Amino acid sequence: MIREIGKYRDGRIVYYVDDKTPSFGYIAFGVIDRGTNVLQARPTTICPQNCIFCSVDSGLKSTHRWAEYIVHPDVIVNGVVKALEVKGCSVEVLLDTIGDVLTYPWLIELIRKLREIPGVKSIALETHGFLLSKQLVDKLSNAGLDRVNLSIETLNPDKARFLYGNPAYDLRRVLESIEYLVKETPIDLHVTPVWLPGINDEDLVEIINWALKIGAGKKWPPLTIQKFNKHKYGRGWNLKEVSWSEFWRFIEKLESTLGVRLHWTMDEWGMHYARRVEPPFHRGELVEVEVWGRGWLRREYLGVIGDKSLIGVYTRRHHLIPGRRYLVRIIENEDGLLIGIVEKAIS
Ligand code: SF4
């Protein structure tokens, strides 16, 4: 079940998601299995930044969202255990979220619990680092975290505050914490800046040199440059987006100028395809859904199909009422992420 525990000034509801909730089916939280040995795990949607290029419109001034979620750690743990039963191989758990996972109040407890699961080979998290500190790095290390994927788009403090939409972003503390992480703990660092064409072209060179200088890539590749893409419900519609061929030309030029590698095979990442948790429902199928409350995006609702799966639900005409049941047609089930449209109310 979900329970309302707070509200943003803009009206967004914050829900607590309890431990009886299914782990699969919803993009905003829980576990996502895309058919490899890497499981995406999403225990929160909250973010303290407001990046001008955010692909999921997260953070302080979101315009598309009307709900946020904080999830009981066991929802993640149960999903990982279930996936392991299916996969027949060990997995990496990547805490990637549509917010920033460092805001998650039970992060250390969750990493400890994941560490105890036989078959979890590595645990990594993605962050922009707003909440990083040396003390937190020590806690993450003691809990058993293996890698941090740091998204950082500039080494200029003023530019960082602008790009990240929060005047409190303290770049110096983030860099110090990360350098401490690399030098003083076994945690590895993978640096993943987004290239914002015309905005941070030169900054990328500095970031690459910094990452290599401090020792990123102890065990995994040190750097990957991400492509900026415009998303229907993301921010950055006024920013420049380049084609994939232009993107790869830019990466190859950086590689040859700096003498570094910036893209990697799945093999080099230790990634491979693996059996997936099959979605219990198919596209076109009619299912009975209990609506629990708001979905993460405006007009979307969060529902559950028995104890089997979460689902994002839309309606053509009416508001949906939490606690009521609806007959829903599934229109999307890619990677087990279910989206449905209400056909009629049942109760
Ligand atoms: S890009 Fe990441 S850190 Fe920035 S607002 Fe989006 S979720 Fe938050």
How many whole angstroms from 127 Cα to the centroid of ligand 1?
A: 8
* 170 within 8 A of 201, measured Cβ to Cβ: no
Residue 318 reports pLDDT greater than 80: no
Is the pTM higher than 0.85? The answer reads: yes
Ligand 1 and 128: CB distance under 6 A: yes
Using CA positions, which residue lies closest to atom 7 of ligand 1? 99
CATH 1.10.3720.10 for domain 286-345: no
Question: Would the CB of 97 count as within 6 Å of ligand 1?
Answer: no
Any atom of ligand 1 within 6 Å of the Cβ of 315? no
Residue pLDDT, tens place only, 4-18: 999 999 999 999 999
> Ligand 1 pocket: which of 40, 56, 171 to mutate (most atoms <8 Å of CB)?
56
Ligand 1 nearest-atom number relative to CA 47: 8
Model confidence pLDDT, tens digit, residues 57-100: 999 899 999 999 999 999 999 999 999 999 999 999 999 999 99
Q: Is the pLDDT of residue 279 over 90?
A: no
Check whether domain 2-258 has CATH 3.30.30.10, yes or no: no
**Close Cβ partners of 246 (under 8 Å, ≥ 6 residues apart):** none
What's the whole-number average pLDDT of the chain? 96
Is residue 51 within 6 Å of ligand 1 at its C-beta? Answer: yes
pLDDT digits over 210-263, tens only?
999 999 999 999 999 999 999 999 999 999 999 999 999 999 999 999 999 999
Q: Which residues contact residue 68 at a Cβ distance below 8 angstroms, ignoring those fewer than 6 apart?
A: 8, 12, 13, 14, 15, 44, 45, 46, 99, 296
Domain residue ranges of the chain, discontinuous segments joined by +: 2-258, 286-345
